[in-house]
C-alpha cells in the first residue's frame, strides 16, 4: 500500500466470462467480519476496463494481463 500506508494486502484476481446469463449492473454485499463488529454494507458495480485506472491502491496493476 505504500506510499499510502505501511501495509501489505493479499489480493486475488479472477477473469470471468458470462454467456447467456443475466448479470446485475449493481448489487449489495455484506462483510460480517468476526461477528463481534457491526456488518459493513457495500454497494458493488461493474466498471468498464477502460476506466480501471481509477481503482485505488494499485488494484488495477494486473488489468493489462487480461489482454495478453
Residues 17-66 pLDDT 10s: 788 888 899 999 999 888 788 999 999 998 888 888 888 777 788 787 77
Start-end of H helices in the chain: none
User: What global pTM score does this model have?
Assistant: 0.59
- Calpha distance 20→32 (Å, rounded): 32
Domain count, the chain: 1
Nearest CA to 10 out of 48, 49, 57 is that of 57
- Give the pLDDT confidence score for residue 42 in this predicted structure: 94
- Calpha distance 56→52 (Å, rounded): 9
28's enclosing H/E stretch is strand 26-31
- Give the pLDDT confidence score for residue 1 in this predicted structure: 64
Range of the domain at 59: 1-68
Amino acid at each position: 500500500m505504500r506510499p499510502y500506508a505501511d501495509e501489505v494486502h493479499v489480493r486475488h484476481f479472477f477473469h470471468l466470462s458470462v454467456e447467456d446469463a443475466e448479470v446485475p449492473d449493481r448489487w449489495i454485499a455484506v462483510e460480517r467480519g468476526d461477528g463481534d463488529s457491526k456488518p459493513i454494507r457495500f454497494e458493488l458495480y461493474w466498471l468498464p476496463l477502460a476506466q480501471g485506472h481509477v481503482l485505488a491502491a494499485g488494484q488495477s496493476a494486473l488489468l493489462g494481463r487480461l489482454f495478453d
